[in-house]
Structure 1
Amino acid sequence: MSKQLNIEAQQKFGEAVNTGNFELFKEVVAPNALDNDPAPGQLLGPEGYMHFFTMMRTAFPDFKVEVEHLVADENNVAFAYTATGTHQGNFNGIPATGKSIKIRGMQISRFENGKMVERWGSSDELGILKQLGVQVG
């Protein structure tokens, strides 16, 4: 598969996240795709991402991810991003605060035949909690 095809698949993944059109995950995520940094209880494959981002967009209806830097080879796409949103619904038991969040993160996705088969990632989860006013530590 070509590097460009993998980049396009990753961009479609981002489109799903940013628009809430989660059916797109079925086009770009393999059924048994492994997430090496899953959310608690996250399922494999497109359904896992559909469930996770439904939760995120319920808590942050204007949730957006903006890619800041992207590199790719024949099998992998890696990128740094900024995620933003306004807390307007329940997030991990935290009722809506109306506060805005802005966090950074990184992701590496491995592709086969134009579909994500494995993912590694890290987001500033502690930063979300602090920006929502949750006492941590």
Structure 2
Amino acid sequence: MDISARRSELRKIRETLVREHFRSEADQEFDATLNTFDHPRYEIMPTGQVFDGPDEVMGYYTVTREAFPDQRHDNVRLRHTDDAVVAEFDLLGTHLGPLYGVPATGRAFRCPVVAFFFFDGDEGERIVCERVYFDTATIAIQLGIAPPLTEAGTGPA
């Protein structure tokens, strides 16, 4: 198989896998989600949290789905690089349970997110890390646990 054909095949394999990752997360089929990884690992960049290995990742799923049982993705758009699939999407959920000591507010959020799904080099077919970027203030303000920045006195004088 020539290089161009292999890249095209690998791109299809990775895109199918990432879409299965999104679907199984939203459906809370976490065993299926874990199976999209070679070794499960999440890096949540705005909080500095790292969940490495199946037990830690499953703990992350448990905590976040207790807080946001309807967590899901909308408007998923994918881009490909040699060793990653980059996803832009909106993350949505309703705060119905505690999250790291913050009691449920019952309020919903929608937040733009960028996630990098890394693969092992330019030949890997399973995810080795999901690195997620989002703005925590966007979520906190919508949930009512932080005031809008302009109300906090940080706006122009």
Unaligned runs of at least 5 residues, structure 2: 1-8, 153-157
Question: Could you tell me the TM-score, scaled by structure 1's length?
Answer: 0.84
Paired residue type of 1:127: T
Amino acid at match of 1:88: L
Answer 1 or 2: higher relative contact order, Cα 8 Å, separation at least 6.
1
Q: Partners of 1:34 and 1:20 in 2: how far apart?
A: 16
What's the Cα RMSD here?
A: 2.4
**Match among 140, 143, 151 for residue 132 of structure 1:** 143
Gaps of 5+ in 1: none
1:85 is paired with a residue whose SS is strand
1:41/1:69 Cα in 2 relative to 1: closer, same or farther (>3 Å)?
closer
Q: Which has the larger radius of gyration?
A: 2
How many aligned residue pairs are there?
137
Confirm or deny: 8 A CA contact 1:25 1:49 kept in the other structure. no
Structure 1 residue matching 2:15: 3-state secondary structure: helix
State the identity as a percent: 21
Distance 1:52 1:38 in 2: 15
Q: Over residues 27-51 of structure 1, what are the superposed CA-to-partner deviations in whole Å (9 max), with x where a residue is unaligned? A: 1112264637386654313433322
Query: 1:1-137 counterparts in 2 under 5 A?
Result: 2-31=10-39, 33=41, 35=43, 37=45, 42-112=50-120, 113-135=124-146
Distance (Å, rounded) in 2 between the aligned partners of 1:34 and 1:83: 16
Structure with bigger strand share is 1
2:57, 2:139 → 1: CA distance?
Answer: 19
